[in-house]
Structure 1
Amino acid sequence: MNASVIAAARQMGPATLEGQRRVLAMFPGQGSQREGMAAHLIREFPETAGAVFERADDELGLPLRALCVEGDAERLRATEIAQPAILVTSLATFEVLRAEGFAPDLVTGHSLGEFTALAAAGVLDLADALALVRRRGELMAEVAAAVPGTMTAVSGVPASRIEEICAEVDGVVELANYNAPDQSVISGTADAVAAATDRLRAEGAGKMVSLRVGAPFHCSLMSTLEDRFADALSRAEFRDPAIDVISSVTAQPISNGDQARDLLRRQLTAPVRWIEVIAAATALGCTDYIETGPGRVLSGLANRMVDGATVRSTQDARRIAAVVAEYA
């Protein structure tokens, strides 16, 4: 770790532990990308983060390092670029923390982030994780080109009512993410999502945000990809988890490598059950929730759902230093 960042971390002092703490590392999904999202990693941690990016560039033949430091928002929004870029930025962040002794008790990931969680838990090696995520992004981009679709975050309407409205709208629109009790995400064709959005606004929905994802993930429109992605999954080696991984498909720990492979196939069309994921982590004794990678979406959701929890993000060098001081 860069000497200036270590010095800042050490000055913050060690954490004071009261009772048993259990740490969940949460890895973000698509939509968390932003311009310059890895600039601090390359600048401050060249030996650890830089090595991850160098290997990723070699494995994929993509200039991920340059894209994650200098790429513009439009380029990073492309599904086939965003997915490997977020994976590598998140894994590079994790390697920086792990090099300083950070060792979570459990890991989980939101959608795409589940691949990162599996790599962090030793289920996938970096080469297989990169290959799978690139293939996933390419296949999803094909669907996006063939069937214009979108995803919209909805606040202020219960998930049960959103499900009813989606069922009443013509076309494909489905509840894709159960993010928090007051936030869900709908996914489907552009026209059907627009119609559902109008109905939800009339129901008194609060903030509604079109997501920067480029395709209608986690809905039945992705079903055409399952067999093709299953072929890619069959060629990757899946090991049993070295630490518990909570699946976003089942909201339960993954038992073995074969189950992990099957869940990644099912994940294409299955909704992200993030409310249940956080509830499962809490039931397993988690007290600390660390978003590992770009953005602060998951830490924000944890803050809203778990009273009294310690929640941290790691999207810049200062926040990484704080996590090092508290957990390393």
Structure 2
Amino acid sequence: MGKIAFVFSGQGAQYPGMGQSLCEASAAAKAVFDMADSLRPGTSKQCFSGTAEELSVTKNTQPCLYCVDLAAARALEERGVHADYVAGFSLGEVAAAAFAGVFTDESGFKFVCRRAEAMQKAAVENPGSMAAVLKLSNEKVEELCGSFSKVWPVNYNCPGQLVVAGEPGQLKEFQELVKAEGGRAAPLAVSGGFHSPFMESAAGELAGYLSTVETGEPRLPLYANLNAKPYTAASARELLVNQVKSPVRWQETIESLAAEGVDTFLECGPGKTLCGLIKKTVKTAKVLQVQDQETLKAALSGLM
């Protein structure tokens, strides 16, 4: 086997009950939830028994996902599985940064709470929507976005899938153009136009906040959404601030990791969205996923 990368799930993967069986199966996972409850009482309760509607509110989604993402990685490490590289999709990059030592678990959680509030506020101030475009080249999607003043490519997910964000009215017109070009645009159930200029005010708020937070040198290579390249201690704040208003270069990140010799990817966190994107990007990769006790056992078995 070659090298292993832990990849951390992003917003949209959340579901009621997430993390509970993982917490019951792993002391290391439970420690993450205990930490979160000490700083934001009720976080584990939201994960374990909150409604889908409650978990879909950004200020709840992000802290809860951070916990499940990080808990899954800690459970793997507790079982003797060690990552050679890490990356996270959008919100998942914060959990990846904590796992890699850029943040402590506590400072990462405090940051993710502030990030969630700032992004939710920006989404209210600048209402936006998102849609996944399928069956068209990135170049064609970028060309179509250029026809609008407030529609932007934001998530470069995998070959043949690019998510765009924009003003709802313009985005509706954009979707008609996609259809006319032979593509398909699927609206996403999100509460804002994330990773676009609509998040400029959130980035500004986070820049001020992070200027007061101590960050460390990554203990293993951590790849950034912003440029698909590894972090340095000096770049951490800039990468995390600009990430919220800039495209997620996920396909390029996975290709870069594969070029470094990664052939096994472990998705840490709820759902298996990243597993699907990775298989479409690097068809020969082994992809495993950890979100609960059952998938933890399956992943450990799959690594043997």
User: How far apart, in 1, do the equivalents of 2:29 and 2:186 lie?
Assistant: 32
Q: Deviations over 1:283-314 (max 9, x none)?
A: 11101011111110101111111122111111
From 31, 37, 40, the equivalent of 1:60 is 40
Which residue number in structure 2 is paired with residue 38 of structure 1?
Answer: 19
User: How far apart, in 2, do the equivalents of 1:272 and 1:242 lie?
Assistant: 23
Query: Contact (CA 8 Å) 2:159, 2:280: kept in 1 or not?
Result: no
Gaps of 5+ in 1: 1-19
User: How far apart, in 1, do the equivalents of 2:97 and 2:206 lie?
Assistant: 17
From 247, 250, 259, the equivalent of 1:274 is 250
Which residue number in structure 1 is paired with residue 76 of structure 2?
Answer: 97
User: Could you list the runs of 4 or more consecutive aligned residues of structure 1 that deviate by over 6 angstroms after TM superposition?
Assistant: none
From 240, 255, 261, the equivalent of 1:285 is 261
Gaps of 5+ in 2: none
Shift in Å, 1:59 = 1.3
User: Quick one: which amino acid aligns to residue 179 of structure 2?
Assistant: R
Q: Deviations over 1:122-174 (max 9, x none)?
A: 111011111111111101111121222111111111111111111112x4110
User: How far apart, in 2, do the equivalents of 1:57 and 1:205 lie?
Assistant: 45
Structure 2 vs 1, CA of residues 232 and 136 (structure 1 numbering), >3 Å: closer, same or farther?
A: same
Paired residues, number = 304
Q: Deviations over 1:255-299 (max 9, x none)?
A: x22211110111121100111101100111101011111110101
User: How far apart, in 1, do the equivalents of 2:111 and 2:38 lie?
Assistant: 15
Aligned to 1:177, the other structure's residue is in SS state strand
Residue pairs, 1:107-146, within 5 angstroms? 107-146=86-125
Shift in Å, 1:327 = 4.2
Which residue number in structure 2 is paired with residue 70 of structure 1?
Answer: 49
Aligned to 2:290, the other structure's residue is in SS state coil
User: How far apart, in 1, do the equivalents of 2:44 and 2:260 lie?
Assistant: 36
Q: CA RMSD in A?
A: 1.4
Query: Contact (CA 8 Å) 1:172, 1:188: kept in 2 or not?
Result: yes
From 158, 175, 193, the equivalent of 1:197 is 175
Query: Contact (CA 8 Å) 1:252, 1:277: kept in 2 or not?
Result: yes
From 192, 201, 208, the equivalent of 1:215 is 192
User: How far apart, in 2, do the equivalents of 1:322 and 1:183 lie?
Assistant: 28
Residues 171-180 or 35-44, more deviating: 35-44
Shift in Å, 1:22 = 0.2
User: Quick one: which amino acid aligns to residue 186 of structure 2?
Assistant: V
Identity %: 33
* Counterpart check, 1:178 vs 2:178: no
Shift in Å, 1:65 = 0.6
User: How far apart, in 2, do the equivalents of 1:119 and 1:211 lie?
Assistant: 28
Aligned to 1:37, the other structure's residue is in SS state coil
Query: Contact (CA 8 Å) 1:60, 1:130: kept in 2 or not?
Result: no
Structure 2 vs 1, CA of residues 209 and 43 (structure 1 numbering), >3 Å: closer, same or farther?
A: farther
User: How far apart, in 1, do the equivalents of 2:135 and 2:292 lie?
Assistant: 31
User: How far apart, in 1, do the equivalents of 2:164 and 2:12 lie?
Assistant: 14
From 287, 296, 303, the equivalent of 1:311 is 287
User: How far apart, in 2, do the equivalents of 1:225 and 1:90 lie?
Assistant: 23
Query: Contact (CA 8 Å) 1:79, 1:215: kept in 2 or not?
Result: no
From 194, 198, 205, the equivalent of 1:228 is 205
State TM-score, norm by structure 1.
Answer: 0.89
Task: Give 1 or 2 for the bigger CA radius of gyration.
Answer: 1
Query: Contact (CA 8 Å) 1:101, 1:327: kept in 2 or not?
Result: no
Query: Contact (CA 8 Å) 1:153, 1:183: kept in 2 or not?
Result: yes
Which residue number in structure 1 is paired with residue 270 of structure 2?
Answer: 294
Q: Deviations over 1:7-46 (max 9, x none)?
A: xxxxxxxxxxxxx51001110111111121122223333x
Aligned to 2:262, the other structure's residue is in SS state coil
From 37, 60, 73, the equivalent of 1:81 is 60
User: How far apart, in 2, do the equivalents of 1:240 and 1:184 lie?
Assistant: 32
